[in-house]
A and B are shown apart, each in its own frame.
Chain A
Amino acid sequence: MPACLPPHEPPQSVTRLYGDHHGWLVRWLRARLGCSHQAADIAQDTFVRLLLSERKGAATPHLQQPRSYLATIARRVLVDAFRRTALEQAYLQALALQPESYALSPEDKVLMVEALHAVDAMLDGLGRKVKQAFLLSQLQGLAYKAIAAQLGVSVSSVTQYVAKASEHCLLFALEAEL
């Protein structure tokens, strides 16, 4: 990167960022992860994420500090990766307690983890009770009265929670497609 950008520099494209900083990002990640393969993977995912958002029309902002921007995105990619791993482990643990687990092929397991990850991402950001009310109603099929008793709230609150979570999920799913 030049030390001083000319005043009318066009917004940096992802390609340009890649050329200028890919090597740095891999080193930055390697210093934190202690594993060069993982660092290369995460760096790749970081640029893929940037490319996808560029393709959706989000101009990569003009960056004064492109590296700190890249590091921020890379951190999110990493946190997502951790979240997915943790989800997978929670799922496999739950599965191990179930008698029919032998019937699942590795491919099925991967698909299940993907499906869980998608819903988990969708529900992220909701309040605990809102999320629980939604899951108890839509996954467990519990009646609102039972949910209300379990969460210690009124039935009308449960209705509101389910509506709120549903709206959140609907918007999330739509935005993900745009």
Chain B
Amino acid sequence: MIADDKRQALRAAAQWLAQRAGAPNDAAVLHAWQQWHRQSPTHRWAWQRVENLQAQLGNLPSTAYQVLDQAPATAAHLGRRSLLKGLVLAAGVGGLGWSGYRQAPLWLADQRTAVGERRTLQLADGTRLTLNTSTAVDIDFSSRLRLITLRSGEIQVQTGKDPRPFIVRSAQGEMQALGTRFDVRQLDGNTALSVAEHAVEIRLRDGRAQRINAGQAMTFGADQFGPLQAAAPGGDDWVQGRLLVDAWPLQRLLAELSRYRLGYLGCSDDAGALRLSGAFPLDDIEAALAAVARALPVVVIRRTRYWTQVVKRA
């Protein structure tokens, strides 16, 4: 603990530092500072600390400004959650300077799945948590709260019976389960919630809340709710490794399938508008593509393992 008088003296010293740095040649400022400095040993102690600080800064390399100015704020002392909020920002691993640093905590998540992987966890309270492809979550159960932090990807939650509130936190807000089964997907800048059973309450950062009932869905940002929609039937079929689509344009289907494997998967413009319906396997994207090629007048072109394009058949 720092004693109050020292704290006050440091505050005053900081203000003097700022004053003097702003008016280095001002005799009146210097004179007033001298009076303050003479006034008490505590003042002199505080000013000595200022000089130590300046000496510390003076020892930095000439590039220090550039290096330090780039450093992102992490506010490590505020604890892990606020820390992570600032960190889950960008992609790229190691050797990339700050971008690598920001990404790092994603692979520190309590649970994660690789691209194409899907995993169901049975939590201590009986909750079933299913992680879809390329997903990272932190699980924090305390005596008062069950908290799941969705850091990327998509989860389906089937809550267990337990008196503690169950909350899923995304980058945009919190969702409190008022019942049992729902699906949350972290998009770029948005969170998509779809409720299968009972209800979920969304709370934005500013405190506004909205209840989403079974059969409803909403995509929301950090500052606003989106329109209330009907939950897509079969929207959580991914839990069974299946994607159910109804008259989707091919482009949308391929974008969805590409979440489940690495590399580029896309289509030519003229093929993208073709529509199709059906159930596609998510654990075998090649089989899904073969099904697409049977259903539509298209061919699948593979340049490399990581580059696949669907074009209209000539």
Distance in angstroms from B297 CB to nearest chain A CB is 46
B95-110, CB < 8 A from A: 95, 97-98, 100-101, 104-105, 107-108
B61 at the interface (CB under 8 A from A): yes
Distance in angstroms from A17 CB to nearest chain B CB is 18
Distance in angstroms from B74 CB to nearest chain A CB is 6
Distance in angstroms from B51 CB to nearest chain A CB is 11
Q: How far is the CA of A136 from the CA of B69 in the complex (A)?
A: 9
B247 at the interface (CB under 8 A from A): no
Complex contacts, B101 vs chain A, CB 8 Å:
82-83, 85-86
Contacts known (A79-B74, A91-B63); A170 close to B68, Cβ less than 8 A? no
Contacts known (A75-B80, A162-B17, A171-B7); A120 close to B56, Cβ less than 8 A? no
A76 close to B108 (CB less than 8 A): no
B104 close to A82 (CB less than 8 A): yes
B125-159, CB < 8 A from A: 140, 142-143
Residue of A119, A125, A140, A170 with most chain B CB atoms under a 10 A cut-off:
A170
B299 at the interface (CB under 8 A from A): no
CB 8 Å contact bits of A62-103 with B (1 = contact, 0 = none): 001100100010011011101101110111011100100000
Q: Which chain B residue lies CB-closest to A89?
A: B97
Q: Which chain A residue lies CB-closest to B11?
A: A167
B18 close to A119 (CB less than 8 A): no
A139 close to B65 (CB less than 8 A): yes
Contacts known (A76-B80, A163-B15, A174-B2); A144 close to B50, Cβ less than 8 A? no
B22 close to A173 (CB less than 8 A): no
CB 8 Å contact bits of A146-161 with B (1 = contact, 0 = none): 0000000001001110
B27 at the interface (CB under 8 A from A): no
Q: How far is the CA of A95 from the CA of B171 in the complex (A)?
A: 36
B13 close to A138 (CB less than 8 A): no
B70 at the interface (CB under 8 A from A): yes
Q: Which chain B residue lies CB-closest to A120?
A: B71
Partner of B97, one of A90, A119, A139: A90
B2 close to A175 (CB less than 8 A): yes
A126 at the interface (CB under 8 A from B): yes
CB 8 Å contact bits of B75-106 with A (1 = contact, 0 = none): 11110100100010000000101101100110
Partner of A123, one of B66, B68, B105: B68
B56 close to A170 (CB less than 8 A): no
Q: Determine chain B's interface SS by DSSP, over half rule.
A: helix
B53 close to A169 (CB less than 8 A): yes
A32 at the interface (CB under 8 A from B): yes
Q: Which chain A residue lies CB-closest to B63?
A: A94
Distance in angstroms from B32 CB to nearest chain A CB is 14
Contacts known (A80-B76, A125-B77); A159 close to B19, Cβ less than 8 A? yes
A55 at the interface (CB under 8 A from B): no
Distance in angstroms from B42 CB to nearest chain A CB is 13
Complex contacts, B80 vs chain A, CB 8 Å:
72, 75-76
23 A-B pairs in the complex with CB atoms less than 8 angstroms apart = A64-B143, A79-B76, A79-B104, A82-B101, A82-B104, A83-B101, A85-B101, A90-B66, A90-B71, A90-B97, A98-B63, A115-B56, A115-B61, A123-B71, A124-B74, A131-B73, A137-B21, A139-B64, A160-B18, A162-B17, A162-B22, A163-B14, A164-B14
Given A115-B59, A136-B65, A140-B65, 20 additional A-B pairs, CB 8 A:
A78-B108, A79-B83, A80-B76, A82-B101, A83-B74, A87-B67, A95-B61, A115-B56, A120-B68, A120-B71, A125-B73, A127-B73, A131-B73, A135-B69, A138-B57, A162-B21, A167-B14, A167-B15, A170-B14, A178-B1
| Chain B residues proximal to chain A, CB less than 8 Å | 1-2, 6-7, 10-11, 13-15, 17-19, 21-22, 46, 49-50, 52-54, 56-57, 59-71, 73-78, 80, 83, 87, 95, 97-98, 100-101, 104-105, 107-108, 140, 142-143
